[in-house]
Amino acid sequence: MEYKEFLNIFKLKGQHFMWFLGAGTSVSAGVPSASNLIDQFKLNIFCKNTSSNPKLYYDLSNPIARQSLQNYFIENKIVPNPDENEYAYYFEKAYPLEELRQQVIEKVVKGRSPSYGQEILASLMKLNLCRIVWTTNFDKLIENAASKLYNTTDELTVSTLDSNNIARDAINNEKWPLLIKLHGDFQSKKIKNTNSELEKQDTEYRKLLIEQCQRYGLIVAGYSGRDESIMSSFREALENGNAFPHGLLWLMRAGEEPCSKLKNLIFRAKELNVNAEIINIQNFDEVMGDILKQIENIPDDIIKYLNTKMPKATFPPLPSKGKNFPVLRMNALPILEYPLNCKLIDCEIGGFEEIQKAIKKANTNIVAMRKKEGVIAFGQLNELQKTFSTYKLKSIVDYTLNQELLLEGKQELNLLYKLLIKCLEQDLPIIGKYRGRSHYIILDKNKINPQKFANWQRGQYQFAEYCYGKIPNTNIEWVQALKISAEFRFEQLWLILEPKIWVEPKEYDENITNKIKTFINSKYSNRMNSVSNLFLDKWINLLIGKNKNKELMLFQSSEKDISPKFIVNGTTAYSRGGE
């Protein structure tokens, strides 16, 4: 399902959906994600078992630190079974006592403020567009958001493991809104974290969830679907018949791969003629913001409340340029010129995926993104007409990208990313990729011989790295890659380059996944300063040319069409110490 269609469905019958929220909906509020907590649990286990100093592993983004941890858990077979909940497994290993686990949860969630998305969710509650919210989260962010909007704690009914009878009473008496915390909250006398605790999912809650899934549609956000105690309830609801009468809509960040439990659930739902879809999104806050735009006649008190909460881009003052040593090389290239003039297309087409399919089908040399106002695009007029003519094309007019929205990293910036990659792809042996909201360039192994990508030697130490290959003892291919991003600093747009290793994202079994992680970490562990500098040089020479200006154009300009153009300089930024 296209994202635009999801928004239309919510606009028409949002009050007929329940929400099911996982940890991903609280990340922008400062609550660590499940994956970050798993890393912390692993570090605790490792240091406890080996008497290592945790300060040596303070930066778990460091490839050497992660490699040491990963090797330890694989060698000592401290890994969950494929059907086990990884978070629950390592949490119990790290903190065997229930009271310790409760203290950990309290530490990571206490004192956080609701995110913009959670503030909008509270607004939907007040508008009677959100009656029931189920969550596995322990934080009180939704409660806090609702209490601030309602100016009281009396309006939102909250049911936890300590008071599960409240949920049924609220549903029977239609006392909305209702928040049901399936695993408790950090102040509960009991919370559920471990596999054994999750397997004993409260019988009343489970029964109630199944019943309500047969009355309402369900929107799921920030939840991976790996928790068997929850997924089995969804499956049972399906098998009981007439489940999710208004649909099962599962929101997942673009670039993430659904787990097997989720794939099987969606497949079975479709077999039973349920409108079940996975919808790719950017993040929870943006989804809630887009939902809000669909609502007309919002009361003034809600508008006033949300205006104080709306996130704004902020740029703290930077220190003055230094003149002293040391001199540090940065991984940023100055973009001396970039296009702002594009086209706005009024037609009846869906979101990102449908637009990309249309471009591929028409085989046109354009880039395009969806905005509320229409489709914004770069390309020759005849190519734009060819691409969108079958979508009830009404008009194509000139449009200027908003500089402020570029600063905030909105769709305008995503369009520039796609344009830049498209310009590079035309003349170079590279392929653009997109994963987890990040943009990548990978070497095209069909256009490059299997030669050495980098070769460096100092004394007896020799470093050699190739363009691509296969991960040992697997058929999985890897290739040299470059993660790219853009930032405004010192009134200048900079292209940020991060050399990476690319493995095509798929759902692998645990054994293969561990081999992939070990291999990639082994690659990164060799990239100290000198080698990282070499990799940066190789990429710059390939894309731009060292110490040169390079023009990047989508097509050759003519009297009829002026090509969008970038000018990028191949000299990286440098940083000096302050005075």
Q: What is the DSSP letter of 35?
A: H
Res 128: pLDDT: 95
**What pLDDT band is residue 189 in, cutting at 50, 70 and 90?**
very low
Give the span between the Cα atoms of 344 and 353, in whole angstroms: 18
Mean pLDDT of 6-22: 94
User: Domains in the chain, please, with CATH?
Assistant: 3-30+114-306 (3.40.50.1220), 34-109 (no CATH), 313-330+420-579 (no CATH)
Mean pLDDT of 492-497: 88
Mean pLDDT of 367-389: 92
8 Å CB contact between 282 and 254:
yes
Tens digit of each residue's pLDDT (9 = 90 or more) over 414-423: 889 899 999 9
Give the span between the Cα atoms of 20 and 149, in whole angstroms: 21
pLDDT of 323 strictly over 70:
no
8 Å CB contact between 469 and 460:
no
pLDDT of 482 strictly over 90:
yes
Res 254: pLDDT: 78
8 Å CB contact between 494 and 518:
no
> Nearest-CA neighbor of 435 among 341, 368, 504, 510?
504
Res 575: pLDDT: 66
Tens digit of each residue's pLDDT (9 = 90 or more) over 513-565: 889 988 988 888 777 777 888 889 999 999 998 778 999 999 988 888 889 99
Q: Which of 174-178, 289-293, 309-313 has the lowest mean pLDDT?
A: 309-313
Tens digit of each residue's pLDDT (9 = 90 or more) over 31-52: 887 777 888 888 889 888 888 7
pLDDT of 191 strictly over 50:
no
Peptide bond into 177 cis (omega under 30): yes
C-alpha to C-alpha distances, 24 to 20, 323, 415, nearest whole angstrom: 11, 43, 25
Res 397: pLDDT: 93
Tens digit of each residue's pLDDT (9 = 90 or more) over 135-157: 999 899 999 999 999 999 999 99
Res 220: pLDDT: 97
Mean pLDDT of the chain: 85
